[in-house]
Structure 1
């Protein structure tokens, strides 16, 4: 899996932040707060993300409403998993990753492991 491009990431950030089905117009309004962008550009990116399986859409009148198929956390986890898979020594890569965690990240990991049932 490849990372999102800059504009794809900006669109997904808006969709995730809004946390509900959204129209192209709503995403456009959010994006225009920080950049000059055209409606058709946002529509094309959202259609592309739909085609890649990251957004689902439903016809509402003449337009579509879009929502994320997966959470931001699920996307991040897939990126991490794919990065780990590129190593010829996954155990060593994982150990290096863990050794670079901040104390706050270590605490968050410990808390997360408390809620995960044993395999």
Structure 2
């Protein structure tokens, strides 16, 4: 609560996840939840940090390893990789992938469309998953 009896504004789940991921990326290697809490200034409860890390683990954005009686957490990728992962999950949830991809590509700005075409034209762009 603030000095006038008002609570500070609540942050959204996505904003908290971004803060936690940023703290993990800035760490010199895997970090404990306590270390993440410290990096964020200590204004989040330890249990909140654990909850956010667990959600990120479920989403595939972080990994964890046992370290004694606790865990250490590591981000899976950078911000661009995480955004790409979210885009892929959204696409995987759609029944008409062709329509979604076509709509996405046609809605791109010309420079972005050109970049996508260049990336797809590079060797190794064709995957055989």
Calculate the TM-score normalised by the size of structure 2: 0.59
Higher relative contact order by CA 8 Å / sep ≥ 6: 1 or 2? 1
Is 1:106 matched up with 2:91? no
Can you give the 5+ residue segments of structure 1 that lack an aligned partner in the other structure? none
Can you give the 5+ residue segments of structure 2 that lack an aligned partner in the other structure? 1-12
Is 1:116 matched up with 2:127? no
Q: Decide whether aligned partners of structure 1 residues 91 and 54 sit closer, same or farther in structure 2, where only a CA change above 3 A counts.
A: closer
More helix by share: 1
Give the C-alpha shift of residue 97 in structure 1: 0.6
Post-superposition CA distance 1:6-58 (Å, at most 9, x none):
233432333245473112233113322xx8312332133324544x2543323
- The aligned residue for residue 48 of structure 2 is 41
Larger Rg: 2
- The aligned residue for residue 10 of structure 1 is 19
Is 1:66 matched up with 2:53? no
Secondary structure of the residue aligned to 2:29 is: coil
Q: Aligned pair count?
A: 112
